[in-house]
Amino acid sequence: MAMAMAMPPIFKLPDELIVQITTYLPQVDLYQLSLVSKRVGLIAQKTLHHTPDIWLRPSPAGGYIRFLVRTLSSRPDLAATVRTLAVFAFNREVEVDVDVLPAVQANITPLMPGLKFTINEQKLVGILLILTTHLRHLALGVSDKHEMIDSHPLRPSYNVPGGLFGYHTSDWATTPFDLSQIPGLKGLQSLRIDVGQLDWSWFALPSLKNLYVSQPHSLRDYTALPASSNLRKIELRTDLRALEHRDSAFNRHFPSFLSHVDKLKEVALTAKDFGGVRTATGMSWATLISRFEPSYSKLEHLKLRFGDPGLLPNALPVSTLGMFVRLRYLYLPQDVLLGKPSEVIASTKCPNTLLPSSLERLTIIYPTLDIIHWLRKLKDCYDHFTGLLRILILASEIYGDGYEQFRYKKLPNHGLNWAKFRVRITYPGGEKREVWKDPNYDPFICEIVDFINSLSIEA
């Protein structure tokens, strides 16, 4: 990374040098890169491996999307190279030149030069998914709004995939659509989606393995459908209102969803106070874990990531974690294991009654000093576990006597390492600091610059 950042940017090359991508080999996903001089012609060539990642921000009048549609529709060879696409579309009509679609342009443009037509921006995204025949990763956002701040309540409400492929919400309920017919979705491996309600056909895409859903109300009732999904991992982001209300989409449909994803191995649930609700008084840790009951026998990884340890108050230790008979990795707040107040509950529970014996790695967030007493108990009943090797304690930066006391105590790691398993504690600051990354770093461009520098060409 550091070496790539030290390289001069490509626009500082001598004016007479031109970098050209002369050949693309779709079978093996390779580019033939040529360095050409206006004075002496071809200087050198190199074959590079690269697949372009396209990230489109919301733009005025859908400009980014329509320009990309025009390029890819006229260059199917380039469309076949796109592996990653991130796009957000509003429910609005945008003006498009006829030359967006070459097939239309060939018949109409000679007779009606300068002709334009309007199309819903979401349908342009549908066209993109038809053109990108080798897409592997899709981040998709769809809004019923006309603009970011304009709700336009009288406009028709599109749903996904209704708005993408021409269906209204009312049509979608009675007109099934096989998403595997869409070229860009046949080989899709990961989907990050921010939309309204999702039809089961999205989850049943033949190659889809990873799913990220940013809104719990995207889930529907799938009770009447057969379990037919290849999903291995799902990440769900929710808020406290969705957790505590009995009639929320999460409480009503999440168990049904889990029961229909028969190959699921990993689930990550992230909850924050998005709606201004600071505490979910109608939810407990035990109730939350009970929502995972359909996956007790199949989950191997479970993450419960909460933005604040006080989101679920007055919690008792969860005694049903042992029901996850195949669980190998567990990530959760301390309160799930010790309860709250932990100094009272911690002395009454032995860890082997709380955790599955199959556990191999355990990560605990929002710790207090009570976790140290709990770990010593864990050592005494270690024979309950078949392969527990590592425990990671992540000290938090939040305020509160217990959390601050743990943070400033700076317990040494070596005092908690026993022969049977290793305990590691990380603190905010230097030990936890992530490697800085240049947000503009492009490994493909840096590879080109590295290649040019290796030629030792002087201006």
**Residue range 298-317, pLDDT digits in tens:** 999 999 988 777 667 656 77
417: Cα separation from own chain's centroid: 34
**What is the arithmetic mean of pLDDT over 28-42?**
56
- Taking the C-alpha atoms of residue 274 and residue 241, their distance in angstroms, rounded to an integer, is 9
Q: Which residues pair with 42 in a beta bridge?
A: 36
pLDDT range class, residue 48, cuts 50, 70, 90: low
Q: 369: closest CA among 339, 337, 409?
A: 409
| AA letter at 118 | T
Q: Are strands 30-37 and 17-25 parallel, antiparallel or unpaired?
A: antiparallel
Residues 6+ apart with CB under 8 A from 238: 215, 216, 250, 269, 270, 271
Does the structure show a pLDDT above 50 at 134? yes
Residue 10 has a pLDDT of: 37
Residue 303 has a pLDDT of: 95
Q: Global pTM?
A: 0.71
Return the minimum-mean-pLDDT range out of 77-81, 119-123, 346-350: 346-350
Does the structure show a pLDDT above 80 at 213? yes
**What is the arithmetic mean of pLDDT over 268-281?**
66
Q: pLDDT tens digit string along 378-392?
A: 877 777 887 888 888
Q: What is the mean pLDDT of the chain?
A: 69
Residue 362 has a pLDDT of: 93
Q: pLDDT tens digit string along 334-345?
A: 888 887 765 555
Q: pLDDT tens digit string along 223-263?
A: 666 666 788 999 988 776 667 676 677 777 888 888 888 88
pLDDT range class, residue 328, cuts 50, 70, 90: very high
Percentage of residues of the chain with pLDDT beyond 70: 53
Q: 318: closest CA among 297, 335, 298?
A: 335
Q: Which residues pair with 268 in a beta bridge?
A: 235, 303
| Cβ atoms of residues 55 and 86 within 8 Å | yes
Which of the given ranges, 24-38, 96-110, 132-146, 326-340, has the highest pLDDT on average?
326-340
| Cβ atoms of residues 311 and 344 within 8 Å | no
- Taking the C-alpha atoms of residue 213 and residue 204, their distance in angstroms, rounded to an integer, is 15
Residue 210 has a pLDDT of: 92
Does the structure show a pLDDT above 70 at 76? yes
Helix (H, G, I), strand (E, B) or coil at 337: helix
For residues 321 and 154, the model is more confident at: 321
For residues 107 and 290, the model is more confident at: 290
Q: 222: closest CA among 261, 195, 251?
A: 261
CA-based radius of gyration for the chain: 27
Return the minimum-mean-pLDDT range out of 260-274, 418-432, 440-454: 440-454
Residue 69 has a pLDDT of: 80
Does the structure show a pLDDT above 50 at 119? yes
Residue 196 has a pLDDT of: 61
| AA letter at 111 | L
For residues 400 and 459, the model is more confident at: 400
Residue 331 has a pLDDT of: 95
Residue 169 CB coordination number (10 Å) = 16
For residues 299 and 53, the model is more confident at: 299
Does the structure show a pLDDT above 60 at 11? no
Phi, psi of 387 (to 5 degrees): -155, 25
**What is the arithmetic mean of pLDDT over 14-27?**
47
For residues 220 and 324, the model is more confident at: 324
Residue 33 has a pLDDT of: 58
